[in-house]
Structure 1
Amino acid sequence: MKAAIVRAAGQPPVYGDFAEPVPAAGEQRIAVTAAAVSQVVKGRAAGTHYSATGRFPFVVGIDGVGRLDDGRRVYFAMPAAPFGSMAERAVVPAARCLALPDALDDVTAAAIANPGMSAWAAYAERARLQPGETVLVNGATGTAGRLAVQIARHLGAKRVIATGRNPAALQEVAALGADATIPLAGSDAELEDRFRQEFAAGVDVVLDYLWGRSAERLLTAAAKAAPEAVPVRFVQIGAMSGADITLPAAVLRASAIVLMGSGFGSVPPARLLASIDALLQATVPAGLRIAATPVPLAEFEQAWPRDDSTRRTVFTLEAPAR
């Protein structure tokens, strides 16, 4: 079968032929129709993500959309190694297949599942967001951050604050439901002061997709906010601005900040899958929006190097004839 394959460490994936997967007991064979590129997928392909196995060769991709042998349309996650989702076929444990709503198209489902899950699981499983609370999304101009703003609103957040490095993109995020936007510009003192104003007014949950300098300023500002400020649940998801921060111990001693992560390892796989299911069921009724660029899998090598944080590349294949 045709697939996107990583043949050895340090080599980019290539389009080529790979062995057909054979389902074992309890597994489903899926004819893949759509599979999206994500930071996790790129990290695993490069061997830099913490979930990479280091075994070669393997097919790229951790999730996608396709048809079971009986024709049912499903979203699927974590195909059995060495098979991935960017191939004509995959095999997946039956428990990792989710029926798709009829109104949700394949490309949107494949595009939204991973970035949307990052926010849905952070809100529902880690922060335990309650209706009426205030959310701050740090790094809201990328695909995942834009969804985090929309999902916060759908889950009942009273107020949503968005930060980002691109002022023009922040205006687009405001149109998606952010009540206030904060450009990540100016000196550390200026940025911290702006954050402190928001925390003094009350911020319940922070979803952080950036880490780095802005996370340092956010945590420091939360600690310095007015004593009557509401305790903050700070959920770390991504590290687009750097893998490390410098955090004075006094920040945690002088505040009611609860610092946690969300992702593979911090949320059980079954609960991550439940978050994806809830997201997929809500996508059309809630009007959740994601920009996606469909590309035939045969053009994989040309499209793989492209990097656009505001649009999701989705590799597509023709649905099997029935």
Structure 2
Amino acid sequence: MKAWQVTTHGEPASVLRLVDIPTPRPAPGQIRVAVRAAALNFPDVLLCRGTYQIRPELPFTPGVELCGVVDELGEGVTGLAVGDRVIGNPALPHGSLAEFALAEAADVLPAPEALDDAQASALHIAYQTGWFGLHRRARLQAGETLLVHAAAGGVGSAAVQLGKAAGARVVAVVGGAAKAEVARQLGADIVIDRTTDTDIVRAVKEATGGRGADVVFDPVGGDAYAASAKCVAFEGRILVVGFAGGTVPAPALNHALVKNYSIVGLHWGLYKQYAPAEIAVAHAELGKLATSGAIAPLVGGRFSLDQAAEGLTRLGAGDSVGRLVVLLP
């Protein structure tokens, strides 16, 4: 089969090689999936660089998210059948940037019929992250104001849609006029372009009559977090989702005390360990929202398998909106 492999660590365009390798066989408890679509995620870039918290032994095939069809069942697998269309997370080192990937049977879910392969491949990580963050961790309520940083990105665009579906008033922060238009199309009530309006704190306070944001969805860190702490409302919740900006904040806890707000962390992957049944519950709710049209993953670019390195380069440079997706015939 054809597969992209990382043979040494570095930037994706430099270290990825498209090669022919034997098609893997599933181990007990695993399935083999014929990949139809692979949504590119920032962890894929970090895997290439060797800076992700997981470091597969070289060489390996990256790709942490997919939509595909079950091709073979490993020993002991029940509840799935060959031909089932599924989404989920592959089991590295056999990631989704290949014609076939392996996955633990417990790590895949039925692909929503309302979504095409590209959209379905982009549903799992971003929308599960958004759902658990907004509903389970931050307890977002209808009528509250939700501030979303990097609102045109893969996870941010999911948060905008899920916030609107929950009845929140959404303030989106983006970088550039094109991304501002994307955020408006996603349904954001107010859009702040940080390239032209550098005082995010003032803009958020003006948009909220001085109150600030009840919930902040922050996948960026750095300056975005610093601004959030200055414009979060009384009893607000700052949801720490990631550090795409490259800087991990060191918040002053006395500030959280005197302003009476919460700093809430979200590592979605831990739910696989501590509350796996809740992932299926969230998936069912996301399926309902997809069927109703309340959410639809934003696919910002479609690439063939031989263009995967180009897609990861764009993603690593921040030159994308929504999810970039690799499609296979």
Please state how far the C-alpha of 1:207 moved relative to its aligned partner.
0.3
Question: 2:161–2:187: 8 Å Cα contact kept in structure 1?
Answer: yes
Who is 1:225 aligned against? none
Q: Which runs of 4+ in 1 moved over 6 A?
A: none
Question: 2:41–2:64: 8 Å Cα contact kept in structure 1?
Answer: no
Q: What stretches of structure 1 of length at least 5 have no aligned partner?
A: 223-228
- The amino acid that maps onto 2:286 is L
* Greater CA drift, 121-130 or 273-282: 273-282
Quote the Cα distance in structure 1 between the aligned partners of 2:184 and 2:304.
33
1:308-319 alignment, distance < 5 Å = 308-318=319-329
Please state how far the C-alpha of 1:241 moved relative to its aligned partner.
3.0
1:280–1:34: structure 2 CA closer, same or farther, 3 Å change rule?
farther
Question: 2:44–2:64: 8 Å Cα contact kept in structure 1?
Answer: yes
1:115-149 CA-partner distances (Å, limit 9, x unpaired): 33332221123212233322111221323222211
Quote the Cα distance in structure 2 between the aligned partners of 1:13 and 1:178.
37
Q: How many residues align?
A: 308
Quote the Cα distance in structure 1 between the aligned partners of 2:211 and 2:96.
45
Q: Secondary structure at the match of 1:129?
A: coil
Residue identity over aligned pairs, in percent, reads 30
Which of 142, 147, 150 is matched with 1:131 structurally? Answer: 142
Please state how far the C-alpha of 1:83 moved relative to its aligned partner.
0.9
Who is 1:195 aligned against? 204
Who is 1:74 aligned against? 86
Question: 1:211–1:240: 8 Å Cα contact kept in structure 2?
Answer: yes
Please state how far the C-alpha of 1:240 moved relative to its aligned partner.
3.1
* Greater CA drift, 81-90 or 170-179: 170-179
2:265 is the alignment partner of 1:261: yes
Quote the Cα distance in structure 2 between the aligned partners of 1:279 and 1:105.
15
- The amino acid that maps onto 1:174 is R
- The amino acid that maps onto 1:231 is E
1:146-185 CA-partner distances (Å, limit 9, x unpaired): 221111111222x111122324422431232222223325
Q: CA RMSD in A?
A: 2.6
Please state how far the C-alpha of 1:266 moved relative to its aligned partner.
5.2
TM-score with structure 2 setting the length: 0.83
1:52-103 CA-partner distances (Å, limit 9, x unpaired): 22411111111201111321111121x2332111111122222212112323
Quote the Cα distance in structure 2 between the aligned partners of 1:179 and 1:304.
31
Who is 1:226 aligned against? none
Please state how far the C-alpha of 1:202 moved relative to its aligned partner.
5.2
1:82–1:277: structure 2 CA closer, same or farther, 3 Å change rule?
farther
Who is 1:213 aligned against? 223
Q: Secondary structure at the match of 1:56?
A: coil
Question: 2:66–2:121: 8 Å Cα contact kept in structure 1?
Answer: yes
2:249 is the alignment partner of 1:245: yes
1:56–1:146: structure 2 CA closer, same or farther, 3 Å change rule?
same
Who is 2:191 aligned against? 181
Quote the Cα distance in structure 2 between the aligned partners of 1:181 and 1:199.
16
1:306–1:220: structure 2 CA closer, same or farther, 3 Å change rule?
closer
Who is 1:90 aligned against? 101
